[in-house]
A = this chain, B = another copy of it.
Amino acid sequence: MNAYNQEPRLLHGGDYNPDQWLDYPEILKKDLELMKEAKINTVSLGIFAWSALEPREGEFHFEWLDQIMDDVAAMGGNVILATPSGARPAWLSEKYPEVLRTNANRQKMRHGGRHNHCFSSPVYREKVALINRKLAERYGQHPAVIMWHISNEYGGDCHCEYCQANFRKWLQARYGTLEALNEAWWGPFWSHSFSDWSQVESPSPIGESAVHGLNLDWKRFVTDQTIDFFEHEIKDIRHITPDIPVTTNFMADTMDLIPFQSLNYERFAKHVDILSWDCYPAWHNDWETTADLASKVGFIDDLYRSLKDQPFLLMESTPSGVNWHPVNKTKRPGMHLLSSMQHIAHGSDSNLYFQIRKSRGSSEKFHGAVIDHDNSSDNRVFQDVKEVGALMEKIQGVKGGGKKAKVAILYDWENNWALDDAQGYAQGTKRYPQTLQEHYRYFWNQDIPVDVVTPRYDLSGYDLVVAPMLYLLSETDMRALKEYVAAGGTLVSTYITGVVNEADLTYLNGWPQALQELFGLQVKETDVYYPKDHNRIQTATGDYGVKDYAALIEVQDAEVLARYQEGFYQGEAAVTRHHFGEGDAYFIAPRTEQAFLDEFYGLRTKELHLANPLVVAGNPDVSIQSRKQAGRTYHFVMNFSEEVQEVTLAQELQDLLTGETMPKTLHLQPYQVRVLVAE
């Protein structure tokens, strides 16, 4: 029995911290009323509750949690139960300082904050195992529990002696001998060869920071050690509650909303049953359009959906604003419904919030929540949440429904690590994830579904694979790309591709032979542009600006689709196509303005018949995403703009919210979303 799979409803609710309000019984009572009113059916409990569960070592208090869980069960709700390791009580840090992290400067941190335990500490592992086991034993059979929420937003690293020892063990397993390590890290450079394993240490601003092989392996180790800690957390849980699926909440990074960088989620995703993530876009900001930002959200949704090839959960989001952006703006009317539906459109089976109730004190007391300090449903945010809850009930049939795309964009964590760390090119303009967002943008504009997958994914099902900037590309991955094209696929690659192998060592003897064969060309140089530098390329029909990077290529037997217009490589090939096996391999040598990508992918869309058959006349401000479940297709038509927009569909569809049948040509109000199905 897997309670989560049996739950027919999309999950609506989120993080709930009654442990902050145990002295306020009237608040706890009000919460239940308001949750019901807001059509909330799921709460995540126990995140950061360790000091409430075990206020002194060995002294456990579950009675408050028993009560809440029973209350939630009584209202027909679900509980996603958290392990509390994301933050520990002060007594633990005080008695066992080894649980505190040591930072890269080799400073032992003091108690404070959260997400700051050593992942190697035996004591911390013991204490975590104990409380996790108690939770599993006490609540494993509780009717409300549908899922485990392991810790919270794993991230960061520790440089203590335990971690150094584990790092050395990890390296020994990877390399076998010191000689192999010295070779992989190019040890003789600056006399960095090691003569004993004991000399190897994690990177540090006050020690080694420029051995890129070490930096890369440290990041790999941190991912593996984090997963090792996660596996330690769930060992007993799996045993005691084999039927309850396990998740942990993933994240995105920076105001650009790129995939989280500190951990390789490709590896981590294999260890969770359900992938879930926390999404906090800065809607209504003043540096990009709403559609710009929406397409970035779509990119990550598509990546995290594709990582496990199944629906994901939106584990955290805000019904209004957050408290940690430079400017913390609330959502304008309509945006909460629109942005909530977008996640479902891309494969989410939930809209969960951080947080159900705003805390009264400390650093997140101004983070958006379903229930505000006013303790009332009489405010805009609460009413927005209620509206989302109502629509989620109407479309709940979509739960579990999938998407399948004919287009894949490749994203690779290790590639980004290696490229970002590389000394070369221009630090300010590498922007690998942001470049993927630009390529993705064409398909988003055209309502063409996209999977975002890694190079290790089986590509054979795709008509088009877009793989820009694969700086680090192993020979195995090269082979996979070659086989994909040979078998009839269409591949797009760019500048800064195939430069180093998985050890961050450059390929010798020119661009890798495999790539030369695949693309029918040789890369000779990569020109790096200053911000004021300029160039243009000319295709058969257009003329487009170049920025940041331009590879200089020597065409062997590829067809030239565009040429450079300026500078010392004026007239040289800039975009090429090479027929290879049954397929085609395209190479875009410069980074261009968006308009070129629109032309280029427009042609590929036509040739490969990628266009969305539902869309007769699309609109770049309107996103249309569809999911299929139980034979029914749910079409989400979303206006990400501040103006009325029009689209024309191929058929008349029914609006699930209003029940009415819509004409083919739809007029969407600003921020309006419609969920349509065929009658």
Number of copies: 3
Binary CB contact string for chain A from 248 to 286 against chain B (1 if under 8 A, 0 otherwise): 000000000000000000000000000000000000111
Q: With A88-B191, A195-B56, A525-B379 in contact, do A211 and B94 touch (Cβ < 8 Å)?
A: no
Is A207 a contact of B364 with CB atoms below 8 Å? no
Pick the most buried of A191, A330, A373: most chain B CB atoms within 10 A of its CB: A191
Q: Which of A317-352 contact B (CB under 8 A)?
A: 321, 323-324, 326-330, 332-333
* B residues less than 8 Å from A209 (CB atoms): 112-113
Is B328 a contact of A191 with CB atoms below 8 Å? no
In the complex formed, the residue of B with least CB distance to A204 is B110
* B residues less than 8 Å from A373 (CB atoms): 506-510
Is B328 a contact of A426 with CB atoms below 8 Å? yes
Give the residue of B50, B329, B509 whose beta carbon is less than 8 angstroms from that of A375: B509
In the complex formed, the residue of B with least CB distance to A105 is B107
Q: Is residue A245 within 8 Å, beta carbon to beta carbon, of the partner chain?
A: no
Q: Is residue A36 within 8 Å, beta carbon to beta carbon, of the partner chain?
A: no
Binary CB contact string for chain A from 193 to 230 against chain B (1 if under 8 A, 0 otherwise): 11110110101101111111100000000000000000
Pick the most buried of A111, A189, A190: most chain B CB atoms within 10 A of its CB: A190
Is A90 a contact of B527 with CB atoms below 8 Å? no
Give the residue of B323, B379, B506 whose beta carbon is less than 8 angstroms from that of A361: B506
Q: Is residue A19 within 8 Å, beta carbon to beta carbon, of the partner chain?
A: yes
Q: Which of A372-387 contact B (CB under 8 A)?
A: 373-376, 379-381
Q: Is residue A114 within 8 Å, beta carbon to beta carbon, of the partner chain?
A: yes
Minimal beta-carbon separation of A214 from chain B (angstroms): 9
Q: Is residue A632 within 8 Å, beta carbon to beta carbon, of the partner chain?
A: no
Q: Is residue A138 within 8 Å, beta carbon to beta carbon, of the partner chain?
A: no
In the complex formed, the residue of B with least CB distance to A358 is B506
* B residues less than 8 Å from A568 (CB atoms): 332-333
Q: Is residue A23 within 8 Å, beta carbon to beta carbon, of the partner chain?
A: yes
Q: Is residue A49 within 8 Å, beta carbon to beta carbon, of the partner chain?
A: yes
Is A51 a contact of B192 with CB atoms below 8 Å? yes
Is B112 a contact of A106 with CB atoms below 8 Å? no
Pick the most buried of A187, A208, A333, A380: most chain B CB atoms within 10 A of its CB: A187
Q: Is residue A4 within 8 Å, beta carbon to beta carbon, of the partner chain?
A: no
Give the residue of B189, B426, B508 whose beta carbon is less than 8 angstroms from that of A48: B189
Known: A89-B191, A363-B423. 5 other contacts (CB 8 A): A20-B186, A87-B192, A212-B363, A286-B532, A332-B568
Interface pairs A-B: 3 shortest CB-CB:
A186-B361, A112-B208, A110-B207
10 chain-A/chain-B pairs, Cβ below 8 angstroms: A50-B191, A94-B198, A110-B201, A333-B568, A361-B505, A364-B423, A366-B425, A374-B510, A376-B509, A380-B524
